[in-house]
């Protein structure tokens, strides 16, 4: 086990069996990654552990994309479950995060020679479960190890299923939230009696908050980096659009079902909010982080995963769920989840150990929370120790109103869908096109994706 990728383990190339549900050609048509396509063309998967290839056959093989600080926390959690009377022996493989990770995961599962356990963004489940790339969980077996449906929020649990069968067990919820300078927010009159960010309640209230923060801070009000980022404007749009109570439905083989009026209203508000004056409209992601760390902005709209970086700045840091400004609370999120990649002939004893391992890892998720992630496992979330984590516990409620990408095979983390939605939204924020044109382009892009064949159907 290591916090850096292990040396490649040679293994023979394979041809997916007919029962795997998806062919090599189908996966290439899937377009999960250009890098993955080059990898597949060369034959063998490098750096990919399997029970057969492991130097320690009795070890549970696990795949994940966690490097850096998250990788070290995952190491700590694995170490915690690898000691004591019922310890596990774990063979961990760390693969590079991004589209190539999902290509490698799909190819190993298509061949039925995958790892025992892997990590999948919950937003990508619809691209894996339907085609037989994942095996379902035995809920009775999980319950035996102390993990049941009641231990997760309904908003997240409902996305673990395909056709009523559970294929993923969430480790966390990682939302798109707001961080703020407590001193600036206090001076701007935005804190409640407990010292937390007060509710907004309307678009005008958030606009006023930006102006008040800019005046209190002497710089910008609200920071949002989106230029050349393939996901940021989608996160913001998806959160606000969900708050209108409207659905963003993409039926396979059909046409996009989107409330155009609500979408226009949201994009127009995004343009008003990031006007290029009080709140900059032309920052890239790292520019927004640097500006906030430098004390030149009162609030930043970011993923909670930036918490470790922001803490180092010395800013009196506060955090809150994404503010509700329309009709209902909603926070854009995703979830790192454990899955069972398809194996052609799984060993029952190893499968039992995989279930036990996942349940034990969930019990260690307070460690995972130190980086900012919200534990999905409610018994950990309700522990007094989590309540003492600041500012993490300030945005824990985001998991109750979690909104993920539409459940489509082409959507989710690191997907082309997010990139194609972001292009017109970015153009709108930069003032290059009106809101109505951006929404029309989003609908066209969604319909183009809907008319592409699903390679795992």
Burial zone of 79 (CB within 10 Å; 0-12 exposed, 13-18 middle, 19+ buried): middle
Backbone angles phi, psi at 319, to 5 degrees: -150, 155
Q: How are beta strands 117-121 and 60-64 bridged, if at all?
A: parallel
- d(CA 203, CA 270) in angstroms, rounded, equals 10
Give the range among 11-15, 121-125, 383-387, 426-430 with minimum mean pLDDT. Answer: 11-15
Do 132 and 277 lie in a common domain?
A: no
pLDDT of residue 16: 32
- d(CA 2, CA 208) in angstroms, rounded, equals 48
Do 49 and 113 lie in a common domain?
A: yes
Q: How are beta strands 169-170 and 336-341 bridged, if at all?
A: antiparallel
pLDDT of residue 217: 93
Do 47 and 149 lie in a common domain?
A: yes
pLDDT of residue 198: 98
Is 41 a residue whose pLDDT tops 60?
A: no
Question: In CATH, what number is assigned to the domain containing residue 262?
Answer: 3.40.190.10
Burial zone of 312 (CB within 10 Å; 0-12 exposed, 13-18 middle, 19+ buried): exposed
**Rounded average pLDDT over 358-384:** 98
Report if residue 283 sits inside a domain: yes
pLDDT tens-digit readout, 381-411:
999 999 999 999 999 999 999 999 999 999 9
Reported confidence tier of residue 36, pLDDT bands at 50, 70, 90: very low
pLDDT of residue 261: 98
CA distances from 326 to 33, 64, 213, 240 (A): 36, 37, 21, 7
Quote the number of domains for the chain.
2
Question: What percentage of residues in the chain have a pLDDT greater than 70?
Answer: 87
Report if residue 354 sits inside a domain: yes
Do 181 and 195 lie in a common domain?
A: yes
pLDDT tens-digit readout, 419-431:
999 999 999 999 9
Counted residue by residue, the chain has a size of 457
**Rounded average pLDDT over 1-6:** 35
Do 372 and 428 lie in a common domain?
A: no
Report if residue 7 sits inside a domain: no
Return mean pLDDT, the chain.
Answer: 89
Do 250 and 390 lie in a common domain?
A: no
Report if residue 2 sits inside a domain: no
Report if residue 84 sits inside a domain: yes
Is 3 a residue whose pLDDT tops 50?
A: no
Do 123 and 195 lie in a common domain?
A: no
- d(CA 320, CA 300) in angstroms, rounded, equals 11
pLDDT of residue 174: 97
Is 32 a residue whose pLDDT tops 60?
A: no
Do 90 and 47 lie in a common domain?
A: yes
pLDDT of residue 7: 34
pLDDT of residue 418: 97
Is 38 a residue whose pLDDT tops 60?
A: no
Do 325 and 345 lie in a common domain?
A: no
pLDDT tens-digit readout, 161-199:
999 999 999 999 999 999 999 999 999 999 999 999 999
Q: Is the pTM of this model over 0.95?
A: no
- d(CA 297, CA 53) in angstroms, rounded, equals 51
- 245 dihedral zone (left: phi>0; alpha: psi -120 to 50; beta): left
pLDDT of residue 58: 75
CA distances from 227 to 280, 413, 414, 426, 428 (A): 11, 18, 16, 7, 11
Is 255 a residue whose pLDDT tops 80?
A: yes
Do 73 and 107 lie in a common domain?
A: yes
Do 287 and 394 lie in a common domain?
A: no
pLDDT of residue 380: 98
**Rounded average pLDDT over 222-248:** 97
Report if residue 396 sits inside a domain: yes
Is 215 a residue whose pLDDT tops 90?
A: yes
Beta-bridged to residue 20, according to DSSP, are none
Do 286 and 366 lie in a common domain?
A: no
Question: What percentage of residues in the chain have a pLDDT greater than 90?
Answer: 84
Domain that holds residue 204: 175-333+415-450
pLDDT of residue 454: 82
């Amino acid at each position: 086990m290591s916090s850096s990728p292990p040396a490649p383990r040679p293994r023979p190339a394979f041809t997916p069996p007919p029962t795997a549900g998806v062919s090599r050609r189908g996966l290439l048509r899937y377009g999960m990654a250009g890098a993955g396509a080059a990898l597949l063309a060369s034959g063998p998967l490098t750096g990919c552990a399997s029970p057969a290839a492991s130097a320690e056959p009795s070890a549970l093989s696990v795949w994940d994309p966690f490097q850096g600080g998250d990788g070290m926390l995952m190491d700590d959690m694995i170490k915690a479950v690898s000691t004591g009377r019922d310890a596990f022996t774990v063979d961990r493989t760390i693969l590079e995060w991004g589209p190539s990770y999902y290509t490698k995961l799909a190819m190993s599962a298509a061949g039925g020679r995958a790892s025992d356990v892997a990590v999948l963004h919950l937003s990508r489940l619809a691209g894996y479960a339907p085609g037989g790339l994942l095996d379902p969980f035995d809920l009775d077996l999980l319950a035996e190890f102390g993990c049941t449906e009641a231990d997760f929020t309904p908003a997240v649990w409902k996305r673990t299923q395909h056709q009523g069968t559970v294929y993923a067990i969430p480790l966390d919820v990682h939302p798109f939230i707001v961080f703020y300078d407590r001193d600036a927010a206090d001076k701007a009159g935005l804190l409640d009696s407990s010292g937390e960010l007060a509710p907004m309640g309307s678009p005008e209230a958030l606009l006023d908050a930006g102006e008040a923060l800019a005046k209190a801070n002497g710089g910008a009000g609200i920071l949002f980096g989106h230029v050349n980022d393939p996901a940021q404007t989608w996160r913001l749009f998806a959160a606000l659009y969900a708050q209108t109570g409207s659905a963003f439905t993409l039926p396979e083989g059909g046409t996009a079902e989107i409330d155009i009026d609500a979408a226009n209203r949201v994009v127009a508000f995004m343009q008003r909010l990031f006007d290029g004056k009080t709140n900059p409209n032309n920052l890239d992601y790292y520019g927004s982080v640097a500006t906030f760390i430098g004390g030149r902005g009162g609030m930043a709209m970011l993923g909670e995963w930036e918490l470790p970086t922001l803490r180092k700045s010395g800013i009196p840091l506060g955090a809150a769920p994404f503010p509700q400004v329309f009709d209902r609370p909603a926070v854009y999120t995703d979830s790192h989840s454990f899955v069972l990649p398809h194996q052609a002939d799984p060993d029952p004893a190893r499968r039992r150990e995989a279930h036990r391992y996942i349940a034990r890892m969930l019990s260690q998720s307070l460690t995972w929370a130190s980086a900012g992630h919200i534990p999905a496992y409610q018994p950990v979330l309700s522990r007094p120790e989590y309540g003492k984590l600041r500012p993490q516990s300030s945005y824990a409620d985001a998991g109750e109103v979690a909104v993920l990408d539409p459940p489509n095979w082409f959507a989710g983390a690191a997907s082309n869908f997010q990139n194609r939605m972001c292009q017109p939204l970015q153009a709108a924020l930069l003032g290059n096109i009106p809101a109505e044109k951006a929404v029309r382009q989003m609908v066209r892009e969604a319909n183009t994706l809907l008319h592409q064949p699903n390679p795992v159907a």
